[in-house]
Structure 1
Amino acid sequence: MQQFLLFLMAVVAGAMLAVQAGLNSGIGKAVKSPVYGALISFVTGGIALLVYCLVTRVPLGNLRRAFELPWYYWMGGVLGGFYVFAIIVLAPRLGVALTIGLTVAGQMVFSLVIDHYGMMGIPQQSINWLRVAGITLIIGGVVMLRTN
């Protein structure tokens, strides 16, 4: 049951990314800047997380340990900013389905590399033909989404 809930959460998160693409594109158009559109998205998300932490009284716990990590762990926010910026630029030009499909294909290919080498402390899972076949099917689906 717990695994089912985790899978459901992943599917819902994926659906939210598609909605987010449309919403963030609208912000980018309104302010006439994908950079400011991404900034507004991150500020809004940061405020929402802060409110959640305050309302639910999330303990600070080991928050200080984050400052002990190597610098490159802090690049996650930069990479997230680039992702939101790219979605704001791409969704109006390619459509949400193709944009999300291409980003998912990119995520899957690089995720396979991360798993294979056990990068960033992720448990190592070797590349095998089934995993490559799965990614090939995803890429094939993205190719089928192209309308022109």
Structure 2
Amino acid sequence: MKSQFLLILLAIIAGAVLPLQAGLNVQLGKSVHQPIFAAFASFLIGTVGLVIYLFILKFDFSSIALTKSVSPVVWIAGILGAFYVAAVIILAPRLGTTLTFVLVVAGQMTVSLVLDHYGLLGLPVREINWQKLVGIVFIIAGVLLIRRF
């Protein structure tokens, strides 16, 4: 139970830092008049941070050779991450942080339901039920309320 609580807390914290990251990246993009530079800088600094973390973990860098066995499609994840960060940097000042992230969450929940329902990308199958669909309806209603007010 304690480990489940820690995982939930980690997920909440991960979600909480995204609007902070967006705001900071927007400021960086404005400073050079180019939001894509902010996305690049974010990934560059993030990469340096992750490399340092791998050294702290004493990661066996020779195991990188094992990635030859994965489908080339998995490398698209980096492009998807770059798209996400760049899109949020562009959208947040135009739509506002709240609307941007409620739309992001709506998109995440919709695709997550499909991935879970069909067990795509090697994820365990968790079928869509009416309760999950009601949750999506509430998210859409939230989007409409936030957009209106």
Q: Tell me whether the two structures share a fold, i.e. TM-score over 0.5.
A: yes
Normalised-by-shorter TM-score class? over 0.9
> 2:19 & 2:132 partners in 1: Cα distance?
24
Match of 1:129 in 2: 130
Superimposed CA distance per residue, residues 14-65 of structure 1 (whole angstroms, 9 cap, x where no aligned partner): 0000101101111111121122111110001000111111233233374322
2:61 alignment partner, SS class? coil
Per the normalisation by structure 1, the TM-score is 0.93
Identity %: 45
**What letter matches 1:58 in structure 2?**
F
> 2:100 & 2:62 partners in 1: Cα distance?
38
Match of 1:113 in 2: 114
Moved >4 Å (runs of 4+): none
Match of 2:32 in 1: 31
Match of 2:10 in 1: 9
RMSD of the TM alignment (CA)? 1.4
**What letter matches 1:86 in structure 2?**
A
Q: Which runs of 5+ in 1 are unaligned?
A: none
Match of 2:69 in 1: 68
With over 3 angstroms needed to count, the CA separation of the structure-2 counterparts of 1:138 and 1:35, relative to structure 1, is same
> 1:62 & 1:107 partners in 2: Cα distance?
31
The alpha-carbon deviation at position 71 of structure 1 amounts to 1.2
> 2:53 & 2:115 partners in 1: Cα distance?
31
Kindly tell me the number of residue pairs found equivalent between the two proteins: 148
Per the normalisation by structure 2, the TM-score is 0.93
Deviates more, 1:115-124 or 1:65-74: 65-74
With over 3 angstroms needed to count, the CA separation of the structure-2 counterparts of 1:36 and 1:136, relative to structure 1, is same
Match of 1:80 in 2: 81
The alpha-carbon deviation at position 130 of structure 1 amounts to 0.7
Q: Which runs of 5+ in 2 are unaligned?
A: none
> 1:100 & 1:130 partners in 2: Cα distance?
22
The alpha-carbon deviation at position 139 of structure 1 amounts to 1.9
> 1:24 & 1:105 partners in 2: Cα distance?
22
> 1:61 & 1:101 partners in 2: Cα distance?
41
